[in-house]
Amino acid sequence: MSTDAPDLALDIRDLRKTYAGRGDAPAKDALKGVTLGVPVGSIFGLLGPNGAGKSTLINILAGLVNKSSGSVRIWGFDQDANPRMSRASIGVVPQELHLDPFFTPREAMEIQAGLYGVAAGERRTDELLAALGLADKATAHARSLSGGMKRRLLIGKALAHSPPVLILDEPTAGVDIELRQQLWAYVRQLNEQGVTIILTTHYLEEAEEMCDRIAIINHGEVIANEPKADLLGRLDRKTVTITPAEALTALPPALSGQEGVEAEVTRHGALALTYSRSKASLGGLLDLVRTSGIDIQDVTTSEAGLEKIFLDLIHSDDDAG
């Protein structure tokens, strides 16, 4: 495999997949012209609700499902023209814990490397087992491993042939917090070493923390694909909580009826203002509060995160459909 990095780790153009109907069931368009470019060296989040088409897309990339039309290039290799090299350029960690219960982790890793033609002297089995915290389980049967250990072994198998692109499909589902943090530390380490990561997750805080670019797919179509900072910046609304020196019992008249501002008094007597940044400013609101005779003791601000954006985009897309 060439060591020269292409412009894009994944280059997907107008990808479509239609599943034929059975009996009275109509055909289903799982992917409707998906176009995505994943930059080399990125941690790319692929988000969407259940049934959005994420699994179909991943299975096409993994070579497990045949596309209906469109093109896929993995690390510069066209999936149709050069299926062997495109497949060798990617490692996929599936959501399901599928492992042969009778093989040890070392045997499973060795077999996986062999399937990709990695010479015995070039295999990284023990290195990967150690990095994933499985060195002391190298000769134990896979059936004796805990769920978290099986998850780590799947990551090791996906890395056995040293692919430049790694897909993690819900890698921390059912994993405890400590192991989740260990896995993400290792993912960051891989990324620092040059591996491009594509991540699907239902834990939106993980995507917000880990990813530098995020695409959202719904009903087989891409409805957002932006750098994380730009996606988060799309929200116009911001909330400020003002703690007065004396607890409020009623909303000051000056703050009712302000355009683009929702004001309420919390049960603790604080003033919560949610406002549109295109229609109001924090400085102006604070001036209104002061002119209402309120002595401000503390001010905290917060902005909606990825979960809010995700839900807004999904609901907006559903309404449009």
Angle between helices 177-192 and 147-158 (to 10 degrees): 10
pTM value is 0.76
Contacts made by residues 186-190, CB under 8 angstroms, sequence distance 24+? 186/131, 186/132, 186/155, 187/43, 189/131, 190/159, 190/166
Question: How far is 155 from 186, CA to CA, in rounded Å?
Answer: 10
Question: How far is 34 from 280, CA to CA, in rounded Å?
Answer: 38
For the cut 80, the answer to whether the pLDDT of residue 108 exceeds it is: yes
Residues of the chain with pLDDT > 70, as a percent, come to 95
Q: What six digits make up the tokens of 140? A: 């134990």
Cβ within 8 Å of residue 287, ≥6 positions away: none
pLDDT band at 95 (very low <50, low <70, confident <90, very high): confident
Task: Name the average pLDDT for the chain.
Answer: 88
Residue in the block written with tokens 């060296």: 41
14-36: average pLDDT: 91
Q: 294 and 271 in contact (C-beta within 8 Å)?
A: yes
pLDDT digits (tens, 9 = 90+) for 115-174: 999 999 999 999 999 988 899 999 998 888 888 888 889 999 999 999 999 999 988 777
Q: 209 and 192 in contact (C-beta within 8 Å)?
A: no
Could you tell me which residue, 208 or 36, shows the higher pLDDT?
36
Could you tell me which residue, 79 or 51, shows the higher pLDDT?
79
59-67: average pLDDT: 94
The structural domains of the chain, ordered by start, are 8-232 (3.40.50.300), 236-303 (3.30.70.100)
What pLDDT, on the 0 to 100 scale, is given for residue 2? 43
What pLDDT, on the 0 to 100 scale, is given for residue 1? 44
Q: 35 and 92 in contact (C-beta within 8 Å)?
A: no
Question: How far is 9 from 97, CA to CA, in rounded Å?
Answer: 26
9-19: average pLDDT: 97
Question: How far is 53 from 200, CA to CA, in rounded Å?
Answer: 12
Give strand ranges (E) for 177-278.
196-200, 213-218, 221-227, 237-244, 261-265, 271-276
pLDDT digits (tens, 9 = 90+) for 269-286: 999 998 877 788 888 889
What pLDDT, on the 0 to 100 scale, is given for residue 303? 63
pLDDT digits (tens, 9 = 90+) for 297-306: 999 887 666 7
